Amino acid sequence: MSKYDIIVLGSGPGGYVTAIRASQLGLKTAVIEKESLGGVCLNWGCIPTKALLKSAQVFEYLKHANDYGLVVKEYDKDFDAVVNRSRNVAQGMSKGVEFLMKKNKIDVIKGFGKLKPGKKVDVDGKEYSADHIIVATGARSRELPNLPQDGKKIIGYREAMTLKKQPKKMIVVGSGAIGVEFAYFYNAMGTEVTVVEYLPNIVPVEDIDISKQLEKSFKKSGIKIMTSAEVTNVDTSGDGVKATVKTKKGEEVLEADIVLSAVGIKTNIEGIGLEDVGIAVDRDKILVNDYYQTNIPGYYAIGDVTPGQALAHVASAEGILCVEKIAGQHVEALDYGNIPGCTYASPEIASVGLTEKQAKEKGLDIKVGKFPFSASGKASAAGTKDGFVKVIFDAKYGEWLGCHMIGAGVTDMIAEAVLGRKLETTGHEVLKTVHPHPTMSEAVMEAVADAYGEVIHL
């Protein structure tokens, strides 16, 4: 039997990062993976979707070349080539993880791992043991009873990024990050897209102003939005799909080639031996403490299988913290109130901290500032004037409670707010920090200035 200090079950952005940090700390480490290194994020999620979205963005630039004083007489898309580029990007990243495993002397064990009592893992009949076993098996597309995925007419995100033929009409059920990103991609490529959202607003976890702006931008792009709506039945017996949608006005039947189910995720915890070991689970999540220890000594869990936000960067941070604690380092528990969330549709969305509604519900006296990109010189020059930056501060202490952005490239801007909040900066300190001009990022300073009644360019 092979013996390790650490065995990591799963090699997604939680698992492989955990393994590398463990190896850096001098721990003999192995990773068990049943599919491709990098997990869903690198192979079927974060990375390949961004490649698709980039192709859509370039295609939109070609459509609007005249707006930039350019003449492009002939252009078209090759849907297969767009999909192939995305797959090649994913494969390249997965090979990069393979290189990192070798570089850090981490053993990669291929196969399906099942936890056993006594700090052991069975991989397709062969046993391995470790002092510490970390579960990082991630999640998959969740299925609704009335929307069973057949992989052909009712699909999940995996099929959505590898379709052989571009659909003429698509219904996207769910308007979280996955739903709106694919809605943008297919609409930009020329598919007629309808988004169906059960709640009153699309991207429902975001600040209400962000939701309204995205709906406005999407409608301008030709995407049909149906909120407070529910798909109650799907008929796939014909050539396409007929979806019955229940709204406040009654029922409506939508016809499309394909329905994309983007209604959240389901954790991959079945069949991995949690019951055999006695590891506590509540509502599809493995219960852990601040350092990701389960109720059974020697067994840990990180990433989507635990109650924190199901985000790649959260999984990575949890894994690093987990192994540093195991190695005896002094670590601070992760602050889940300061985790940035990003959505890569066009316009992009990025946010951190409290929404305005949440701040008010806490009874806080707040200052709110907003700066539209329509007043930004850089945004005007780039032709990307949709969106704004919104900031929320505690009126008494100047604490930065929340920051919400929608616009071009805002996913690359949100880190300023995350770092500022981590360092407990105040509104006045942000305001007096000189931001470069002309940039999209100076909209953060301008929004803060608006909160304090000192805005110059609005």
Residue list, annotated binding site for FAD: 50, 113, 304
Helix segments in 383-441, DSSP class H: 415-422, 427-431
Query: What DSSP assignment string belongs to 82-151?
Result: HHHHHHHHHHHHHHHHHHHHHHTT-EEEES-EEEETTTEEEETTEEEEEEEEEE---EEE--BTTB---S
| DSSP category for residue 16 | H
Residue positions forming the annotated binding site for NAD(+): 174-181, 197, 264
For CA atoms 313, 315, 316, 320, give the dihedral sign.
positive
Give the Cα separation of 83 and 162 in Å (integer).
Answer: 6
Place of tokens 């070349």: 65
In the three-class reduction of DSSP (H, G, I as helix; E, B as strand; rest coil), residue 169 is classed as strand
User: In degrees rounded to 5, what are phi and psi of residue 81?
Assistant: -65, -35
Q: Say if CB 155 and CB 175 are below 8 A apart.
A: no
Residue 374 near residue 435 (C-beta atoms within 8 A): no
64, 313, 330, 437: the catalytic one is 437
Cα Rg of the chain (Å, integer): 23
Residue for token pair 């055999």: 276
Rounded Cα gap, residues 380 and 385, in angstroms: 6
Per-residue tokens: 311: 């985000």
Residue 437 designated active-site:
yes
Known binding-site residues equal 50, 113, 174-181, 197, 264, 304
Catalytic residues: 437
